[in-house]
Amino acid sequence: MSNPERPSGPALAEVTVWSLEQTSPDDLQPSAVPGPDVRIVRSEVPLPEFSRFLYTAVGGDIQWTDRLSMTYAQWQEVLDRPGAETWVAYVDGTPAGYVELDPQDDGAVEIMYFGLLPAFRGRRIGGHLLSYGVARAWDLAERWPERPATKRVWVHTCSKDGPHAMGNYLRRGFRLFDTRTELEPEVATPGPWPESGRTPLP
């Protein structure tokens, strides 16, 4: 008797996930500021269209998929939470990357999303953007009095992220506290065109 056919579905890939943390503002080791053409501004209007643009443009080539199925209302709800913040790096007025902060009830703040559009990677912007975002995580309660003072800032990265991600976190003073391996489906994601990061911008 022949074996029954296995149900078809997306291929699975083994992914390593690392979790890192800081437990004091003194842990932060800031990066050098790259230059006057780089500005970091808080996106103070919680707008799903802009947030989804950042998410797909930064994460499209590294398979960020967890938010792709969210409705507009669900995305708005995430952005409207007290203390949730999005800080955007601009290079000569063009969005280059972002940090999204997710405050949690125990005084922890997660760096929920962080990254650069492909065309802006490798230009020493990421260290500065991460430094700035972590500093804003530590002083978040100053802007949101209803939130508890930050006691811990944490982040997770994985083997699908860019090759410099882990090194950036470690240089900024994060310490590894957990490692795990997961099986995740390999799926196509929207985002930048495949060639968008190949030619550095002037």
Condensed to tens digits (0 to 9), the pLDDT of residues 158-177 reads 888 877 889 999 999 999 99
| Mean pLDDT value of segment 67-83 | 95
Residue 4 forms part of a structural domain: no
- Taking CA atoms, 175 is separated from 40, 125, 153, 155, in Å, by 25, 21, 11, 10
The model's pLDDT over 147-161, given as tens digits with 9 standing for 90+, comes to 999 999 999 998 888
Q: How far apart are CA 136 and CA 34, in angstroms?
A: 18
Residue 190 forms part of a structural domain: no
CATH number of residue 181's parent domain: 3.40.630.30
Please give the share of the chain, as a percent, with pLDDT higher than 90.
69
Residue 53 forms part of a structural domain: yes
Of 119 and 163, which is predicted with more confidence? 119
User: Which domain range does residue 39 map to?
Assistant: 12-185
Q: How many domains does the chain have?
A: 1
| Mean pLDDT value of segment 29-37 | 93
Residue 198 forms part of a structural domain: no
Both tokens of 189, joined, read 């994601």
202: CB partners within 8 A, 6+ apart: none
